[in-house]
Chains A and B, each alone.
Chain A
């Protein structure tokens, strides 16, 4: 059995027991006095406007997908920047290829009007 996994097991046990203990402790200690207002969804103190499971426009998904693309781009660029000297020109070429592919996708999305909020 690889010993390197023992910390993960301990972490898992703590992660599972923490919410269980917290909820049980609260249940034992707190006085039970429910009211209508207390059971409402909490939204910054303002009265909730509507149910959160309503339908909303598909454009949000496009923005989210574009966001993920650029997010992943930076995640890849950071390790390259840290190891820039070791990787040398090989790293530059690899990142150039990676960015070129992303830029093609970006131009495509731009031309298709994915960035416009109609």
Chain B
């Protein structure tokens, strides 16, 4: 072809191209082919096609790697690297986007904001996530991050007439822009040290510097601020409860699951890449951040009466557990993060889907009172919610136990006994506030009788999340093997 383009280049970005292409198609088809608002649900077909093609492309990439006996394939001069790590995380994005798209239709219809662009935005955000999981260049990673974040700012404020939604979007936008500034400052220092934006070159440049080099430390500190903000770790978690509460619940689910998984992938790429040689420096910092995150998340969740806010704080504390895996830093720990992210995706999506079903005409359905007596009204939903909450708390035989097990195992293997003990103690706190929801569902009397806002897509998505949450816990072997492919070294 030419000097700028090799024949394998397109192969490394084809999933993102598919997502962007179908995203654009949705924007056009929205008014050219389906002008009637009632036809907008047909746009789901495009999302399904996009995810189908993306999944197929990911499958072909895996096949290529095995057929050629290689662990990674780089494209565009090392800007994009397709490896087991990237493919694993992208499967999570595919599943999360598909589930969120399927359940959104009814919720947005009730909220009176069912627009075609919504489905396009889901796909655009996902193409940003693709580059977060596979990018190995500072610029590629940053553009991927901004593509994802900008789309989320819009989606959080999607309920245009709702004050809370607007407030959440503005807060998220301002704080997000601020944290991106820190991140770029760190990136500029990395570029200054290495003279290149490629992660591999930056890693080499940092390795050759002394351990407590002030420039490395400054780059580490500023980059960490941006990264920790994105995974909503304390003390940069302030935006999460407000954004989660104000956003449409379907968007909250997507934000809590896919955005967090992508940011974790991004964090691992940076910490396992350029900053790996400075592990001695960041290990104590991240330990403190992880403990602080678990403290803030778990203790603040206790007093919440809004289910979405409660789940937001719970998702903050989960970020703390994931960070513990990175603090341990051995294969078990990194593998544990992959398992944790996979498990977290299904259980957290499931819990938010039940909240989605609580949103009915004239009922916001986000308070603990709204879920009261769910067992007597719709026992199916109540039992599923119980499974998700048990899993979030980390009780066997659900999937959540498995995620925490590997994190704690890695901490014990590497001698971080105090951290393991603190993590285990906070599980007890978590059980308390998760069971506030359970008590509300099973013991308290129902306050209103309106039936759940259900749809075929929602039931299917709930079923899939529920079955997988149990399946990973009961028979984890195939899922663990899947997560093993994601080892990043």
Contact = CB atoms under 8 A, between A and B. Distances in A.
B27 A108 contact: yes
Interface in B84-101: none
Nearest to A91: B4
A104 B4 contact: no
A104 B1 contact: no
Contact of B24 (A87, A88, A104): A104
B39 to A, nearest CB: 16
Interface in B165-205: none
A90 B28 contact: no
Interface residues of B, number: 10
Interface in A68-118: 87-90, 101, 104-105, 107-108, 111
Contacts, number: 19
Contacts of A104: 24, 27-28
B27 A88 contact: no
A90 B1 contact: yes
Interface in B1-31: 1-2, 4-5, 20, 24, 27-28, 31
Nearest to B25: A104
Contacts of B24: 101, 104
Nearest to B24: A104
A102 to B, nearest CB: 11
Interface residues of A, number: 10
B478 to A, nearest CB: 39
A34 to B, nearest CB: 40
B27 A87 contact: no
B131 to A, nearest CB: 16
Nearest to A90: B2
Nearest to B192: A2
B133 to A, nearest CB: 22
Interface in B21-54: 24, 27-28, 31-32
Contacts of A105: 27
A107 B28 contact: yes
A90 B3 CA distance: 9
Contacts of B27: 104-105, 108
Contacts of B31: 111
Contacts of B28: 104, 107-108
Nearest to A100: B24
B287 to A, nearest CB: 35
Interface in A30-73: none
11 contacts: A87-B2, A87-B4, A88-B2, A89-B2, A90-B4, A90-B5, A101-B24, A104-B28, A105-B27, A108-B27, A108-B28
Which 10 A/B pairs are nearest by Cβ-Cβ distance?
Answer: A104-B24, A90-B2, A108-B27, A111-B31, A90-B4, A90-B5, A104-B27, A88-B2, A104-B28, A107-B28
